[in-house]
Amino acid sequence: MNARAKFVIGAALVLTTVGFLMTSGIKETGVYFLTPSELADRVQADPTFHDVGVKMGARVVHGTIERDVGTQTINFEVTDGEQTYPVVYRGIAPDTFTDGVDVVVEGRLAPDGTFHATGLLAKCGSRYESEPSA
């Protein structure tokens, strides 16, 4: 076997190994990004979807935020206008987390319909723009 054939076989093995490692890594760490309505559709189609990590983008429902300072637990509801889910988050919320703000929560949907969030991102309610000059 000549040197060129050995090089081609070695390169193919390296590329196959790297491709396999990338694919398995993405499958293990990949997360779905869904709206509450899309999440409800997925769960209705596949009840085992409760075990899958999800990022859900929605808006906080006005008047639903309840904070327990002692346990750093925040209970609130999110909606996309069609579907609403109660969310439980334990941790420190961003400063921009208020009623009506758009949020992205990361976690899992429990069989009882409560979304247990492990991550919480809140969109800034205002834009960072310079004031108009006079």
pLDDT computed for residue 134 by the predictor: 55
pLDDT surpasses 70 at 128: no
For 71-95, how does the pLDDT look when each residue is reduced to its tens digit (9 = 90+)? 999 999 999 999 999 999 999 988 8
**Which band of pLDDT confidence, cut at 50, 70 and 90, is reported for residue 64?**
very high
d(CA 102, CA 116): 17
Residues 81 and 92 sit within 8 Å (Cβ to Cβ):
no
d(CA 11, CA 93): 48
Bigger pLDDT: 124 or 111? Answer: 111
Residue with tokens 């990338």: 22
pLDDT surpasses 70 at 123: yes
**H or E segment at 36?**
helix 36-45
**H or E segment at 33?**
strand 32-34
Task: Please determine, looking at this structure, whether the domain spanning 31-122 carries the CATH number 3.30.930.10.
Answer: no
| Per-domain boundaries in the chain | 1-30, 31-122
